[in-house]
């Protein structure tokens, strides 16, 4: 079936055609569908700097080739999303040169808060520990972790999220059917089951070197901020940082030993203005401006420590400092029972009483 959605999938399959080039063709022909029937001379004119791509389009511009691509997409165990689809990630739409087609394995949950954790493949023990630590702590706040499924820091970021029963997205620099590096095969399978794997490359595309810098714009594009754990002075990780800055995203950098090569990049980022990462709160405070975050671990601890009636009162007080009369009104309790609960909550260390019979949550 020849429609704009399927034509995007066709163009993506040819390789080398950016979203900017597609917009140029739409501007030239009026709409995407006209490309299918455009005369050879017009294709060469609009793609004057990309004659090889124009030749590819002319060679494959037949219904048999198109049907083969579309039918394969519907048979395999991954999903294909185009920038025209309603469930295409909104965050990606807003970046420069977005991938106009993405292939997905697993569960899509792109609207939730997401933080990228990236860093060196040749990482130190300290770096791997930090990547896993911050990943797990992000999950406690119900924040997903995005990374590139590479060795080192990327892998530890994914593992931390999975170990904490959280959500993680792996972005590939190869075809959606490829497992690269092979040593991360089990990690791939776990992410497919509990998270999501994304690629702008269709099946069969090899992990070519130039794919990975392009992949990095998707890692930062899906994320609300980028955490750099370790990076050399000329690390590929810094490409992700450049993408994040161009996209207006926060960049956090973990300081490291000045004698360690893998800390040169992160220390330099801090020197140049990146937010220093010392504690998970450094990230949370920035995200709270965009999302109503709540620490899941603390919530469980609180629920285990309080009865249902105590929890009801605590939830009221937690919103903001509040006078006892308003607590009585909102809880529907009589004042005698409420005073008993307030005393218990104070003794357990969950609330404090301020002057004028006003209460505030301690935790």
**9 with 36, same domain?**
yes
- Of 253, 287, 321, which residue is a domain's last? 287
Same domain for 183 and 71: no
**Residue 308 and residue 277 share a domain:** no
Here the CATH number for the domain that contains residue 206 is 3.40.50.450
pLDDT tens digits, residue range 223-235?
999 999 999 888 8
Residue 169, pLDDT score? 98
Considering the domain architecture, whether residues 37 and 67 belong to the same structural domain is answered as yes
Q: What is the pLDDT of residue 49?
A: 84
What integer pLDDT is reported at residue 255 of this predicted model? 96
Question: Do 69 and 121 belong to one domain?
Answer: no
The verdict on residue 86 lying in a domain is no
116 shares a domain with 64 = no
- C-alpha to C-alpha distances, 345 to 185, 350, 353, nearest whole angstrom: 49, 5, 10
State pLDDT tens for residues 237-260: 999 999 999 999 999 999 998 888
* 303 vs 109, residue with greater confidence: 109
pLDDT-derived band at 355 (thresholds 50, 70, 90) equals confident
Q: What is the pLDDT of residue 73?
A: 56
CATH number (domain holding residue 345): 1.10.10.10
**Within a domain: 196:** yes
The answer to whether residue 299 scores a pLDDT higher than 80 is: no
User: Are 71 and 111 part of one and the same domain?
Assistant: no
State the pTM of this model: 0.82
Are 63 and 132 in the same domain? Answer: no
Q: Which domain holds residue 316?
A: 296-361
Same domain, 143 and 227: yes
Q: Do 323 and 192 share a structural domain?
A: no
Considering 252, 287, 322, which residue would you say is the last residue of a domain? 287
- Count how many domains the chain has: 3
In this prediction, residue 9 has a pLDDT band, given cuts at 50, 70 and 90, of: very high
Contacts 24+ apart (CB under 8 A), 11-19: 11/57, 11/100, 12/100, 12/101, 12/200, 12/202, 13/69, 13/202, 14/53, 14/56, 14/57, 14/60, 15/56, 15/205, 16/50, 16/52, 16/53, 17/53, 18/97, 19/83, 19/97, 19/98, 19/99, 19/100
Q: Which of 235, 263, 287 is the last residue of a domain?
A: 287
């Amino acid at each position: 079936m020849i429609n704009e959605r399927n034509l995007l999938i066709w163009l993506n399959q040819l390789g080398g055609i950016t979203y900017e080039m597609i917009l140029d063709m739409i501007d030239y022909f009026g709409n995407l569908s006209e490309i299918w029937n455009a005369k050879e001379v017009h294709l060469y004119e609009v793609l004057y700097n990309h004659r090889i791509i124009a030749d590819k389009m002319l060679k494959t511009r037949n219904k048999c080739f198109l049907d083969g691509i579309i039918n394969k997409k519907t048979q395999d165990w991954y999903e294909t999303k185009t920038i025209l689809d309603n469930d295409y990630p909104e965050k990606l739409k807003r970046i420069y040169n977005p991938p106009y087609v993405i292939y997905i394995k697993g569960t899509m949950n792109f609207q939730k808060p997401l933080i990228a954790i990236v860093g060196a493949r040749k990482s130190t023990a300290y770096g791997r520990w930090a990547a896993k630590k911050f990943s797990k702590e992000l999950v406690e706040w119900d924040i997903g972790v995005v990374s590139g499924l590479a060795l080192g820091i990327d892998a530890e970021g994914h593992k931390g999220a999975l170990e904490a029963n959280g959500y993680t997205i792996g972005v590939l620099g190869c075809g959606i059917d490829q497992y690269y590096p092979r040593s991360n095969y089990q990690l791939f399978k776990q992410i497919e089951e509990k998270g999501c794997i994304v690629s702008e490359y269709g099946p069969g595309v090899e992990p070519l070197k130039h794919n990975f810098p392009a992949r990095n714009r998707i890692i930062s594009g899906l994320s609300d901020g980028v955490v750099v754990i370790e990076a050399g002075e000329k690390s590929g990780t810094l490409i992700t940082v450049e993408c994040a800055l161009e996209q207006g995203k926060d960049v956090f950098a973990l300081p490291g030993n000045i004698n360690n090569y893998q800390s040169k990049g992160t220390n330099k980022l801090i020197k140049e203005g990146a937010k220093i990462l010392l504690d998970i709160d450094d990230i949370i405070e920035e995200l709270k401006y965009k999302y109503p975050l709540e620490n899941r671990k603390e919530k469980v601890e609180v629920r285990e420590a309080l009865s249902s009636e105590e929890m009801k009162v605590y939830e009221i007080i937690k919103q903001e400092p509040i006078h006892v009369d308003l607590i009585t009104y909102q809880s529907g309790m009589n004042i005698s029972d409420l005073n008993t609960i307030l005393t218990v909550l104070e003794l357990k260390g969950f609330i404090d009483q301020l002057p004028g019979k006003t209460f505030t949550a301690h935790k």
